[in-house]
Amino acid sequence: MARLLGAIMAGGRATRFGSDKAAALLDGRRLIDHAIDALSPHVAAIAICGRTEEAYLSLPDRPGPDMGPLGGLNAALHHAQAHGFDGVLTSGCDMPFYPADLPALLIGERAAILDGQQLLGWWPAALAPELDAHLAEENNRSIRGWLARTGARTVTLPGLVLPNINRPDDLAAIRRDRG
């Protein structure tokens, strides 16, 4: 059985949201706490990438700040590789749900993401040096470019619709739906 690190990507600026998205409340709890609870059953340990959370391993973006989600992923891959994890399951701090059957669909020999949710993914720890090389090159550092470089698979879960929380209205809609 693979030893997995869970990485919550939490280093974004949340410009469309207008405030600290990870700290926004859903059902009286921060979005990042929902994301941690949703991912935790599937992994041996959790790391928070791009911000400090006192109760958790917090990893600064690598090789430096303002690298976007790839900086957080790079930090998680290097931590995984250095600490005996086979790979990293990722989620965003604004992803309060993580489908129970998703890890089994994602985990494999090569990277994989959930269709339409590029931060919900599987990344073998062996990709750490490749991501270093990718980030050192002249490119736009987009997740799409990284997906193309790794030949990541795209996984679909028929009928699954996960919330995309980019603006306060998106969070308000989830609250209404749950209310």
Residue 92 backbone dihedrals phi, psi, to 5 degrees? -90, 155
- Residue pair 87/106 in contact (Cβ under 8 Å)? The answer is no
* The overall pTM is greater than 0.85: yes
Confidence of residue 8 (pLDDT cuts 50, 70, 90): very high
The percentage of the chain sitting over the pLDDT mark of 90, rounded to a whole number, equals 73
pLDDT above 70: residue 112: yes
Q: For the chain, which domains are there?
A: 4-178 (3.90.550.10)
- Please report the pLDDT score of residue 4 as a whole number: 98
Residue-level pLDDT at 26: 93
Q: What is the mean pLDDT of the segment spanning 41-50?
A: 97
Residue 14 scores a pLDDT above 80: no
More confident residue, 2 or 130: 130
**How far from 81 is each of 57, 99, 155, CA to CA, in Å?**
15, 25, 24
Report which of 175, 132, 160, 171 is spatially closest to residue 17, judged by C-alpha positions.
171
Per-residue pLDDT, averaged over 47-57, amounts to 95
pLDDT at residue 67 above 90?
A: no
Instruction: Copy the structure tokens of residue 67.
Output: 């690298």
Which pLDDT score, from 0 to 100, does residue 89 have? Answer: 98
State yes or no: pLDDT of 54 exceeds 70.
Answer: yes
Q: What is the mean pLDDT of residues 31-53?
A: 96
- 37 among annotated binding-site residues: no
Confidence of residue 15 (pLDDT cuts 50, 70, 90): confident
Supply the pLDDT for residue 159. 86
At 126-175, the pLDDT tens digits run 999 999 999 999 877 888 999 999 999 999 988 888 887 888 999 999 88
Residue 179's pLDDT band, with cuts at 50, 70 and 90, is low
Half-sphere exposure of 6 (CA within 13 A, CB side): 20
- The secondary structure of 127-172 as a DSSP string is GHHHHHHHHHSSS---HHHHHHHHT-EEE--TT-------SHHHHH
Report the amino acid identity of residue 106. L
* Nearest Cα to Cα of residue 76 among 29, 43, 104: 43
* Beta pairing, strands 4-9 & 87-92: parallel
21 assigned binding-site residue: yes
Residue showing tokens 């700290």 = 23
The token pair at 149 is 């470089």
